[in-house]
């Protein structure tokens, strides 16, 4: 048995060394061959062979020189940005936003389009992806993966959309149609899940492998991160927190998913506006009203207290099951409430349950769903591209 494995050992070691070098170049580049050898623990000869191999594969390039002591200047190397591209797409009921990033993670193209005048989801995504790549001056053939964030359920088995409340024309079979149209791997992911990916990467949940993110905006959603991985559930419905049967709202008993569920009735944007009107903010939308209440200090306290009591019902129900160390409040309302709302929710959850998670506002201010889509695409493509260096 061991004899059959030995021939593969040098090949595996080369692959591991190549991957480690590429990750270092992404995080700390540009680097010289000597510095790369020091960081990887490889000899100068092995590090030089590694760099030559990656150059031949078109994954790294010389980007400059570093002056040293005696002798010629040392060449500096970096990951070649154009070796692969990804596109992330944030799909909403009224607009679609697409961004193109190179393999280093730099966002180099972005487009935003209205979806109000079309009922063709394939055409909408096609145009957005093509224009995002074009604005980045990237060939569509270099786009290795497209990740779309969408509200609703994504079947973990098929990867297809099974239900999207605000996107009635997005349906099962759309994934195959998009892959056929774009000739590129296309992946659907729930939008709130992608926001959690971004939060873990560069937001309030950095360094944590377990946390939940509660999204409060036009809709209500939950993302569950366990062991550094998203938990989707058997049908993709994990996190559909809007359907929690909570006190204070009627519980629809028909099987139609078009009925507004209980927790959504209690804390969705329409309900936030109703609470705002009761507290003297008649004309503002949900996020504006919450920001106004926060800015009002003590005068805005009663409104924030009411929202926290409502929101805590869903947060507490989640936390007594999962017991996460951290809850992130995101979405338009969660972001607008900031620490003032998060602190109140934390206190209320601790008052009504045995668990005491830390509750914090989102650490992201711009397009978390799009950021999460790009990160998800980049992680997959780097695995593919960097893992293909074995030769």
Render pLDDT for 89-140 as a digit per residue (tens, 0 to 9). 999 888 899 999 999 999 999 999 988 777 788 888 999 999 999 999 999 9
Answer yes or no: same fold for 85-193+369-388 and 206-363.
yes
Paired residues of 89 in beta bridges:
98, 148
pLDDT classification of 1: cutoffs 50, 70, 90: very low
| Phi–psi pair at 153, nearest 5 degrees | -100, 135
Above pLDDT 70, what percent of the chain?
94
pLDDT classification of 380: cutoffs 50, 70, 90: very high
Q: Which two tokens stand for residue 15?
A: 């692959």
Rounded-to-integer distance, Cα 357 and Cα 174, Å: 39
Q: What is the pLDDT of residue 5?
A: 41
Indicate the fold that domain 85-193+369-388 takes in CATH: Nucleotidyltransferase; domain 5 (3.30.420)
Indicate the fold that domain 10-79 takes in CATH: Arc Repressor Mutant, subunit A (1.10.10)
Rounded-to-integer distance, Cα 374 and Cα 365, Å: 16
Q: What is the pLDDT of residue 390?
A: 47
Chain centroid, CA 71 distance in Å: 47
Would you say residue 355 has pLDDT above 50?
A: yes
Rounded-to-integer distance, Cα 348 and Cα 333, Å: 18
Would you say residue 225 has pLDDT above 80?
A: yes
Q: What is the pLDDT of residue 287?
A: 95
Would you say residue 7 has pLDDT above 50?
A: no
Q: What is the pLDDT of residue 74?
A: 85
Q: What is the pLDDT of residue 9?
A: 65
Would you say residue 261 has pLDDT above 60?
A: yes
Rounded-to-integer distance, Cα 324 and Cα 214, Å: 12
Would you say residue 219 has pLDDT above 50?
A: yes
Task: Report the 3 state secondary structure along the chain.
Answer: CHHHHHHHHHHHHHHHHHHHHHHHHHHHCCEEHHHHHHHHCCCHHHHHHHHHHHHHCCCEEEEEEECCCCCCCEEEEEECHHHCEEEEEEECCCEEEEEEEECCCCEEEEEEEECCCCCCHHHHHHHHHHHHHHHCCCCHHHEEEEEEEECCEECCCCCCEEECCCCCCCCCCHHHHHHHHHCCCEEEEEHHHHHHHHHHHHCCCCCCCCEEEEEECCCEEEEEEECCEECCCCCCCCCCHHHCCCCCCCCCCCCCCCCCCHHHHHHCHHHHHHHHHHCCCCCCCHHHHHHHHHHCHHHHHHHHHHHHHHHHHHHHHHHHHHCCCEEEEEHHHHHHHHHHHHHHHHHHHHHHCCCCCEEEECCCCCCHHHHHHHHHHHHHHHHHHHHHHCC
| Phi–psi pair at 149, nearest 5 degrees | -95, 125
Taking alpha carbons only, the member of 317, 124, 125, 357 closest to residue 220 is 317
Q: What is the pLDDT of residue 112?
A: 94
Q: What is the pLDDT of residue 342?
A: 98
CA angle (152, 156, 158) in 5-degree steps: 100
| Phi–psi pair at 138, nearest 5 degrees | -115, 135
Domain map (residue ranges) of the chain: 10-79, 85-193+369-388, 206-363
pLDDT classification of 67: cutoffs 50, 70, 90: confident
Return the exposure string of 252-270: e unless at least 16 CB atoms fall within 10 Å of the residue's CB, then b.
beeeeeeebbbbbbbbbbe
pLDDT classification of 257: cutoffs 50, 70, 90: low
| Mean residue pLDDT across the chain | 90
Indicate the fold that domain 206-363 takes in CATH: Nucleotidyltransferase; domain 5 (3.30.420)
Selected residue with higher pLDDT from 98 and 7:
98
Q: What is the pLDDT of residue 117?
A: 74
Would you say residue 42 has pLDDT above 90?
A: no
Q: What is the pLDDT of residue 197?
A: 98
Taking alpha carbons only, the member of 383, 291, 283 closest to residue 332 is 291
pLDDT in tens, 274-330: 999 999 998 889 999 999 999 999 999 999 999 999 999 999 999 999 999 999 999
Residues in the chain: 391
Q: Which of 67-81, 180-194, 353-367 has the lowest mean pLDDT?
A: 67-81
Mean pLDDT of 254-259: 65
Cα–Cα distances (Å) from 215 to 120, 329, 351, in that order, read 28, 6, 22
| Phi–psi pair at 362, nearest 5 degrees | -55, 145
Q: What is the pLDDT of residue 3?
A: 41
Mean pLDDT of 131-158: 93
Q: Which two tokens stand for residue 51?
A: 């760099």
């Amino acid at each position: 048995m061991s004899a059959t494995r030995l021939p593969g050992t040098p090949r595996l070691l080369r692959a591991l060394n190549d991957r480690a070098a590429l990750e270092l170049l992404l995080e700390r580049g540009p680097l010289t061959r000597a510095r790369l050898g020091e960081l990887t623990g490889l000899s100068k000869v092995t590090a030089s062979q590694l760099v030559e191999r990656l150059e031949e594969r078109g994954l790294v390039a010389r980007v400059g020189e570093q002056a040293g002591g005696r002798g010629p200047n040392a060449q500096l190397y970096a990951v070649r940005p154009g070796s692969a591209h990804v596109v992330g797409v944030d799909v909403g009921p009224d607009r679609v936003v697409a961004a193109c990033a190179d393999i280093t993670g730099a966002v180099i193209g972005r487009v935003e389009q209205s979806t109000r005048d079309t009922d063709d989801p394939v055409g909408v995504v096609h145009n957005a992806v093509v224009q995002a790549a074009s604005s980045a001056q990237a060939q569509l053939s270099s786009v290795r993966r497209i990740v779309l964030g969408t509200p609703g359920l994504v079947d973990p088995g098929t990867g297809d959309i099974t239900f999207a409340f605000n996107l009635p024309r997005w349906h099962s079979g759309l994934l195959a149609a998009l892959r056929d149209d774009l000739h590129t791997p296309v992946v659907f992911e729930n939008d709130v899940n992608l926001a959690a990916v971004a939060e873990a990467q560069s937001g309030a949940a950095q360094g944590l492998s377990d946390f939940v993110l509660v999204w409060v905006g036009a809709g209500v959603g939950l993302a569950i991160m366990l062991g550094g991985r998203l938990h989707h559930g058997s049908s993709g419905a994990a996190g559909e927190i809007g359907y929690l049967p909570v006190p204070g709202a009627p519980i629809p008993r028909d099987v139609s998913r078009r009925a507004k569920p209980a927790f959504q009735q209690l804390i969705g944007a329409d309900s936030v506006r109703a609470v705002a009107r009761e507290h003297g903010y008649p004309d503002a939308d949900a996020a504006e009203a919450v920001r106004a209440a926060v800015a009002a200090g003590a005068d805005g306290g009663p409104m924030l207290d009411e929202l926290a009591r409502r929101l805590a019902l869903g947060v507490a129900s989640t936390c007594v099951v999962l017991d996460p160390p951290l809850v992130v409040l995101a979405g338009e309302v969660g972001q607008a409430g900031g620490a003032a709302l998060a602190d109140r929710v934390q206190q209320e959850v601790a008052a009504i349950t045995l668990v005491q998670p830390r509750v914090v506002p989102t650490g992201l201010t711009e397009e978390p769903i799009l950021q999460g889509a790009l990160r998800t695409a980049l992680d997959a493509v780097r695995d593919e591209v960097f893992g293909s260096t074995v030769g």
